[in-house]
Amino acid sequence: MIEQRKKDKWVIVVFHSLLLVLLLSFQRACCSFSSHSKQQKDKVTELPGQPNVSFAQYSGYVSVNKDSGRTLFYWFVEAVEDPASKPLVLWLNGGPGCSSIAYGLAEEVGPFRVNADGKSLYSNPYSWNQVANMLFLDSPVGVGFSYSNNSQDLLTNGDERTAKDSLAFLQKWFKRFPQYKGRELYLAGESYAGHYVPQLAQAIVQSRKLTGEKSINLKGYMVGNALTDDFHDHLGIFQFMWSSGLISDETYKLLNIFCDYQSFVHTSQFCETILDIASEELGNIDPYSIFTPPCTSNTTFPNKLLKRLHSVGHIGEKYDPCTAEHSTVYFNLPEVQKALHVDPAVAPSQWVTCSGLVNLNWKDSPRSVLNIYRELIQSGLRIWMFSGDTDAVIPVTSTRYSIDALKLPTVTPWHAWYHDGQVGGSTQVYKGLTFVTVRGAGHEVPLHKPKLARALIEAFLSGTPMPTLAGHDES
């Protein structure tokens, strides 16, 4: 009798174990089916006027806060060849208030450019999805196609919540695309993303320490012409404008008196008055690219120096300074929004490259993110900064002042790097950080110098120095 009871108990244990295994397998299968279903729902089959492509692309919404209905819009393009072997790069544009789809994707590192007709696209031969899987995020809510059910959210955006929502986005995005869990992830961006990128990197590192969750396998980040430290950035801007002959001696002195110690986002009236004078002295040039002609059509924000950290855009198959205007036409087309799975119920009445509402109502913006650099350098992340050397908005001088403030030991001294036998810029490797300048590029480096930007991302992802003339000749 006792032996029979033991056998019965053993059978029950085995049955329960098998049942548990079956339930877990069923749950995994359901989750896999659910994520696959959501992926397929987001798949973009073809955009209006799009050239033929071999890679897959997806776009859609990811909810980051159920209480208020904050929801971020993304566009993901897989690598042209063998995406399973390529890293994942998340690209962020700044503003604050500017769309990563308007700039990063449509005129910088994405696979397409918008033609002047505003109705069709052409291929970007230097797209970064030739070397990585590229994910573009419109952040925060109120930017691009991202939205909130609570209109108050658009008036209360700031750095802290943006980082929190972007982290929530990534966590949920990896659930929708589980094949990318654990994949090497790199963050990249420019301008005000000089705040977004290191802040998000910090949030990822801290979350990983707290939870032990390793699905977000962050390896490093890279930022270009990036707002980093208000004091050093202002100092560098004014010095660059003065030494480039863009402003008078008197204005240079007044800028240093009234603006050096000001917040970049929340400036005083005195500082704004002097900035207005500086803008007048500049004349009708584009401070984001001082040697190229500006777009003469209307832009989203008033063309006042330093009062906007977005760009009017400059590229095309033939040089075109009005690229952003073409994108505005294209992304407002109903057929384009339908192809991108934009929900008409929550779509903006007028899609814009940059939201003035978000920009003018920005809340917390720390004066410096150098403390985050110090923290993340210790964590072992690969960190690169780059500067187009014809940008007057966050110029090379600003970034050099900020890097100098970190007091990092030099590993490889300042020297020229080369591409196609020509000087592509200069570079210096510090302990924990690499700095690269890009010769002849403005605020949006991949826009003005796409070939050099491709060389930059290739070096960054491989963790190798920028090529020297000898190294270039050997290759």
- The residues near 129 (Cβ < 8 Å, ≥ 6 apart) are 55, 77, 78, 79, 80, 110, 111
- From the list 159, 229, 233, 391, the catalytic residue is 391
- From the list 191, 327, 387, 402, the catalytic residue is 191
* Amino acid (1-letter code) at residue 399: T
- From the list 310, 314, 326, 443, the catalytic residue is 443
Beta strands per DSSP E along 280-388: 382-388
365 flagged as catalytic: no
191 flagged as catalytic: yes
Distance CA(144)–CA(444), nearest Å, equals 19
Q: Which residues pair with 410 in a beta bridge?
A: 430
Distance CA(110)–CA(331), nearest Å, equals 15
Whether the ω angle into residue 96 lies within 30 degrees of 0, i.e. cis, is yes
Say how many C-beta atoms besides its own lie within 10 A of residue 3's C-beta. Answer: 7
Whose tokens are 């050096």? That residue is: 260
Distance CA(325)–CA(345), nearest Å, equals 25
Distance CA(25)–CA(31), nearest Å, equals 10
Q: Which residues pair with 71 in a beta bridge?
A: 63, 147
343 flagged as catalytic: no
Cα dihedral 396/402/403/405 (nearest 10): 150
Distance CA(189)–CA(91), nearest Å, equals 5
Beta strands per DSSP E along 244-314: none
Q: Is there a contact between 300 and 353 (Cβ–Cβ < 8 Å)? A: yes
Residue 45 token pair: 């089959």
Q: Which residues are catalytic?
A: 191, 391, 443
